[in-house]
């Protein structure tokens, strides 16, 4: 059975993400809304619930899930 790399899905505060204070789990580059490739509306609690991000430095894609209440 294949295992999913746990770094592919991180949880972050939406305000931190909007202010480019979220770090790539692979290379520690700061990322924000400019690097979103897709928004996800099917993850609770309020839209947009999550976003797929491509890091500008290492080009890895990962999902940022916004913490509840942010």
C-beta separation of 51 from 40 below 8 A: yes
- 3-51 pLDDT, tens digit per residue, is 567 889 999 999 999 999 999 999 999 999 999 999 887 756 666 688 9
Please say if the pLDDT value at position 1 is more than 50.
no
To the question of pTM greater than 0.75 for the whole model, the response is: yes
C-beta separation of 6 from 60 below 8 A: no
Give the angle subtended at the CA of 46 by the CAs of 43 and 49, to the nearest 5°: 40
- The DSSP bridge pattern shows strands 22-23 and 61-66 to be unpaired
């Amino acid at each position: 059975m294949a295992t999913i790399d746990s770094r592919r899905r991180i949880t972050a505060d939406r305000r931190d993400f909007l202010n480019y204070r979220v770090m790539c789990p692979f290379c520690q580059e700061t990322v924000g809304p400019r690097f979103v490739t897709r928004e996800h509306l099917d993850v609770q609690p309020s839209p947009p619930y999550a976003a797929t991000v491509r890091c500008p430095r290492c080009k890895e894609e990962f999902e940022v899930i916004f913490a509840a209440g942010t």
